[in-house]
Amino acid sequence: MEFQLKADLKCSGSVSEAVSSSEIAEFVKHCNAELLKKGAPPGCGAEIERWNVAGEKIGLKIVSDRFVRAHDALLRLKNEFGKFLGPHRIGIRGMEIEDYEIAMEWEEGLKIKKLPFVREIKQEEGMLKLFLDVDEFSLEKRIPDRIIRLLEDKKEAARWKGKKEHWELLFESNKKLFYFDKDPTEEMMKRGWIKHAAGRGQWIYGPQLTKIFRTFERILLDEVCKPLGYEEMVFPKFVTWDVWKRSGHAKGIYPEAYYVCTPKTRDPEFWEEVMDYYKVTNEVPLDMIMERIEPVGGMCYAQCPPFWVFLQGKTLPDEILPIKIFDRSGTSHRYESGGLHGIERLDEFHRVEIVWIGTKEQVIEHSKLLQEKYRRIFDEILDIEWREAWVTPWFMAQEGKAGLAELKEVGTIDYEAVLPYSGKWLEFQNVSVNGDKYPKGFSVKLQSGEELWSGCSGVGLERWAAVLLAQKGFDQDKWPAKFRSAVGKLPEIFRFL
């Protein structure tokens, strides 16, 4: 990796009048020999290749390798020149970056079209050249380093692209009797149990399916939450950018997020043109609205991140662990582009989010307890055909956690059930051990200094219903006895002429 940087140090007085060329040459020689080699192996580091002085400006051309990158060298030189010129009552007012080029080896098949803070990209003969558009503030924020890390991420993502997600069978239930062979969503539509809502990937659930949802929740409370000591909380369903930055979702949520915007002002005069347009045309002027709003975050995507603000920056006493909480207060939203199907793949869906927090050992052990409880529900109450699989999401490998996944410590167990009408398996439930991801992201610590871990489990009500009805059908007499008893008689309220 090679760096070339041309920049001017802007001074508060005339350097050429205060210091001789020979003094500057000696100073540059000293910097090349010591300052710009600090922290690098022998023979490596940065170097001032050319310099010139013109009035209040010192022009520098710096070349370097990856050990002391050119922008780091420039920042060092800014401070060192300040000390050098200080006795002459001359200070450094700032820097102007004239040109910054980074060159590195690159895979020819991996094309890079556009990058932030890069005005031009060249790819040729196994090399990638970036011509940066940066200023002093960008260097202080270490934008060049972040660009390089971004390129490494793109390399890693390209390595994973096209590969199947790791999937390892852990457990498979006995074969079960199926009493239905059609798509349950279509059958519910015929029966008037559900209807497409006005929004994309959104349904209105009638009294029958709503009662089934509430029965699932009661089963979950009676079989999992109460026996294991969970307490209920209410998590926000609007999530700010800061939360997604801390949770890691801000790295890649954008194609799937439902965005939330607020008015730039509530001043009626600011909005008068929009209101007048609608009154005249009876059409909502979306372009005009977009000019008057600003994005402040999005709707709930993964249910637990906004909870962590409750603990953000806190230190917990060890004796209160493990902490066990759950939330069932609202919907989650994901823009499922091109993949919508029935009630099992939606943009708006309902789920119960279970979260537990403790030491590494406590979190892993509690995950096992949860798995036992779910097995009882699926086998003895719902009587469905299902299986467990260990899944290593690609982002864990990117974060260097593949080794932990192989040890069955950090990662996800997916619960899948077969849909008789298609023969496909549907993931309808999960249990995830997230390691220290969220405690670190939200700066939550333990009094003892021991590492704090967490886990979460999302119970999707629509998917539970899709699985149960796909396998057991709509004849309640054929439903498993324990579930039939729990749900009782389904209400019939609406009739249509």
pLDDT band at 155 (very low <50, low <70, confident <90, very high): confident
Residue 370 to residue 40: CA distance in whole angstroms: 50
In angstroms, how far is CA 223 from the centroid of its own chain? 31
Under CATH, what is the fold of the domain 2-160? Answer: Alpha-Beta Plaits (3.30.70)
List for the chain the helix, strand, coil content (%; round to 5): 35, 30, 35
**Using one digit for the tens of pLDDT, what is the confidence trace for 56-110?**
999 999 999 999 999 999 999 999 999 999 999 999 999 999 999 999 999 888 8
Domain 166-258+301-487 superfamily per CATH:
Bira Bifunctional Protein; Domain 2 (3.30.930.10)
Marked catalytic residue, from 304, 328, 344, 348: 304
- Bridge partner residues of 169 (DSSP): 389
The pLDDT of residue 454 is: 97
**Using one digit for the tens of pLDDT, what is the confidence trace for 217-276?**
999 999 999 999 999 999 999 999 999 999 999 988 999 999 999 999 999 999 999 999
pLDDT band at 393 (very low <50, low <70, confident <90, very high): low
To the nearest whole number, what is the mean pLDDT of the chain?
93
The pLDDT of residue 109 is: 83
304 assigned to active site: yes
3-state secondary structure of 472: helix
Helix (H) / strand (E) containing 63:
strand 57-64
According to DSSP, the β-strands at 424-435 and 411-419 are antiparallel
**Would you tell me how many other CB atoms lie within 10 Å of the CB of residue 288?**
13
The pLDDT of residue 396 is: 58
According to DSSP, the β-strands at 386-392 and 411-419 are antiparallel
User: At CA 84, angle to CA 83 and CA 89, rounded to 5?
Assistant: 80
Helix (H) / strand (E) containing 103:
strand 92-105
For residues 125-138, give the mean pLDDT: 94
Largest CA distance in the chain: 99
pTM for the full predicted model: 0.84
Q: Determine the residue type at 221.
A: L
Is the bond preceding residue 227 a cis peptide, omega within 30 degrees? no
Residue 155 to residue 111: CA distance in whole angstroms: 10
- Where in the sequence of the chain do the CATH 3.30.930.10 domains occur? 166-258+301-487
Marked catalytic residue, from 8, 336, 379, 450: 336
**Would you tell me how many other CB atoms lie within 10 Å of the CB of residue 56?**
17
Residue 453 to residue 362: CA distance in whole angstroms: 8
Nearest Cα neighbor of 14 from 94, 87, 78, 85 is: 85
Q: Does the pLDDT value for residue 473 go beyond 60?
A: yes
414 assigned to active site: yes
- Where in the sequence of the chain do the CATH 3.30.70.1920 domains occur? 2-160
DSSP 178-191: ----S-HHHHHHHH
79 assigned to active site: no
**Using one digit for the tens of pLDDT, what is the confidence trace for 163-222?**
556 788 999 999 999 999 999 999 999 999 999 999 999 999 999 999 999 999 999 999
Share of the chain above pLDDT 90, in %: 87
336 assigned to active site: yes
Share of the chain above pLDDT 70, in %: 95
Name every residue whose Cβ is closer than 8 Å to that of residue 377 and which is 6 or more positions away in sequence.
219, 220, 223, 224
**Using one digit for the tens of pLDDT, what is the confidence trace for 54-65?**
999 999 999 999
Is 138:116 a contact under the CB 8 Å cutoff?
no
**Would you tell me how many other CB atoms lie within 10 Å of the CB of residue 121?**
14
DSSP 127-147: EEEEEE---HHHHHTTHHHHH
Helix (H) / strand (E) containing 398:
helix 394-398
The pLDDT of residue 400 is: 47
Q: Does the pLDDT value for residue 405 go beyond 90?
A: no
For residues 407-420, give the mean pLDDT: 88
Q: In degrees to the nearest 10, what's the CA dihedral of 132, 135, 137, 141?
A: 10
Determine the length of the chain: 497
pLDDT band at 398 (very low <50, low <70, confident <90, very high): very low
According to DSSP, the β-strands at 92-105 and 46-54 are unpaired
Marked catalytic residue, from 159, 345, 375, 484: 345
Q: Which two tokens stand for residue 214?
A: 């509430």
Residue 487 to residue 484: CA distance in whole angstroms: 5
Q: Which of 37-46, 314-323, 365-374, 387-396 shows the lowest per-residue confidence on average (mean pLDDT)?
A: 387-396
261 assigned to active site: no
Marked catalytic residue, from 47, 383, 414, 416: 414
Marked catalytic residue, from 101, 156, 399, 427: 427
Is the bond preceding residue 322 a cis peptide, omega within 30 degrees? yes
Marked catalytic residue, from 47, 334, 348, 351: 334
Q: Determine the residue type at 285.
A: P
Q: What is the 3-state secondary structure (H, E, C) of 42-55?
A: CCCCEEEEEEEEEC
- Bridge partner residues of 124 (DSSP): 127
For residues 5-27, give the mean pLDDT: 94
Sign of the Cα pseudo-torsion (169, 459, 402, 368, in order): negative
For residues 320-330, give the mean pLDDT: 97
The pLDDT of residue 402 is: 52
Q: Which two tokens stand for residue 306?
A: 């906004």
334 assigned to active site: yes
pLDDT band at 407 (very low <50, low <70, confident <90, very high): low
